[in-house]
Amino acid sequence: MSRATGWLRPPTTAYAHCDVPCGIYDPHAAELAARTVARMVELIGQLPKENPTEADRAKLVRCITVKEQHAEIVKHEIGVIWSDYFKPEHVERYPDLHDRTWKILKLAGKNKQNIDAAAAAELEAAVKEYADIFWSTKK
Amino acid sequence: MTFEPSDESGAGGFSSGVSLSPIGAPWDRLRTGVWRVAVAEESMAPALAAGDWLLLDPTPARWPRRGSVVVFHEPESGILAIKRVAAGPGDHVRISAGILHLSPDQAWLLGDNGASSIDSRRYGPVGLDALVGRAWFRYAPASRIGLIPRGPQWGPLRALAEPRA
């Protein structure tokens, strides 16, 4: 059976090339995730420092989880745009592209490890600049 | 993104009256043409689904009629793509820059799933030299074996589909 289907299998693939369902070439997801990281840091800062209730502690855990998940999403989304979307001519136009990517990945890691409003703001700004570069290559 | 027709978008060396042999002489096409393809991605759903196995006619000397499903080399990437002929040589297509008149070797190719398809709205008209073959029969999966119909909705009006802004 498997030999039969193997023999029947077409030697080539034709792509019904699609855009949105794959959703990979849009920095918006990264921007949203970076925004979420910053917002979570903000929410964590608003929690009472002393005598937290059960609910406060639950919220703290939730915020930390969401923060770390979204920092990871930033890394994934930026990585996809970097590896799959950007081409050599884009790097020619933006010679610091690799460096920017690397810095965002590092920053996202830093935001996973720490609760640091400055680092979160830095991440958000860096992702925004990355998105601007992305869109400028679409013009 | 706006498509703007330019001199480069066509298949350069066409002049009317010469024979159209995009992939080589007919005998070459019989020998080296692509006869079978597997479909990937969903822009042709529901007519075609990812994983469908199709038979091609790799010998077309001109663009098949409107509504036909064709396999071709995508202009920008060169990957083998599958779309429907929305408009053929001589047809007019409305794009954001105005009306585009397709030259005798050009076709306007669109995916059935307009919203998500990367097609002529992205890369403009496709020259005959990019045509690989016409998909005419699905031989797998077993539950969907059969001829691939020309889309009845793909009349002239459909060919005037708005391009991506």
Q: Is the peptide bond before B141 cis (omega within 30 degrees of 0)?
A: yes
Q: What pLDDT does B57 receive? A: 94
Q: Does B84 touch chain A (CB under 8 A)?
A: no
Query: What are the tens digits of pLDDT across the range B45-64?
Result: 888 998 899 999 998 889 99
Chain B positions touching A10 (Cβ under 8 A) are: 36-38, 53-54
Q: Tell me if chain B has a CB within 8 Å of the CB of A13.
A: yes
Burial readout A82-113 (b: 16 or more C-beta within 10 A, e: otherwise): beeebeeeeeeebeebeebbeebbebbbebbe
pLDDT digits (tens, 9 = 90+) for B89-141: 988 887 777 788 899 999 999 888 776 778 888 888 999 999 999 999 999 89
- Any A CB within 8 A of B43 CB: yes
The C-alpha atoms of residue B35 and residue B147 are separated, in whole angstroms, by: 15
Q: Within 13 Å, how many C-alpha atoms sit on residue B127's CB side?
A: 19
Contacts of B66 (CB under 8 A, 6+ apart): B85, B86, B87, B88, B91, B150, B154, B155, B156, B159
CATH architecture of B22-150: Ribbon (2.10)
Q: What is the per-residue pLDDT across B80-91, written as a single tens digit (0 to 9) for each? A: 999 999 889 988
Predicted confidence (pLDDT) at residue B15 exceeds the cutoff of 70: no
Q: What is the pLDDT of residue B26?
A: 66
Average confidence (pLDDT) over B63-67 = 92
Chain B residues with CB under 8 Å of A6 CB are none
Phi, psi of B59 (to 5 degrees): -110, 20
User: What's the pLDDT band for B13 if we cut at 50, 70, 90?
Assistant: very low
Per domain, the residue ranges of chain B are 22-150
B81 with A20: Cβ contact below 8 A: no
Decide if the complex's ipTM is over 0.85: no
* pLDDT at residue A37, as a whole number: 97
User: In chain A, which residues have pLDDT < 50?
Assistant: 1, 20-24
Strand stretches in A75-114, DSSP E: none
What is the rounded distance in angstroms from the CA atom of residue A25 to the CA atom of residue A5?
Answer: 35
Check whether the bond before B46 is cis (ω within 30° of 0): yes
pTM equals: 0.53
Instruction: Return d(Cα B30, Cα B108) in angstroms, integer.
Output: 25
Contact at CB, A17 and B118, closer than 8 angstroms: yes
Q: What is the pLDDT of residue B131?
A: 95
Largest CA distance in chain A: 70
B80 chain-A contacts, CB cut-off 8 A: 12-15
The total of other beta-carbon atoms located within 10 Å of residue A11's CB is 9
| Residue A79 exposure: Cα atoms within 13 Å on the Cβ side | 9
Angle at B37 between CA A84 and CA B39, to 5 degrees: 55
pLDDT value for A4: 57
Q: Where are the alpha helices (DSSP H) in B26-112?
A: 26-32
Higher pLDDT, B29 or A85: A85
- Ramachandran angles phi, psi of B117, nearest 5°: -90, 135
A50 in Cβ contact with B107 (< 8 Å): no
pLDDT of residue B46: 84
**Dist CA A121 CA A131 (whole Å):** 15
**What does the alpha-carbon distance between residue B90 and residue B106 come to, in Å, rounded to a whole number?**
8
Domains and CATH numbers, chain A: 25-136 (1.20.120.400)
Contact B69, B135 (CB under 8 A): yes
Measured between CA atoms, how close is B64 to chain A, in angstroms? Answer: 18
Cα radius of gyration rounded to whole Å, chain A: 20
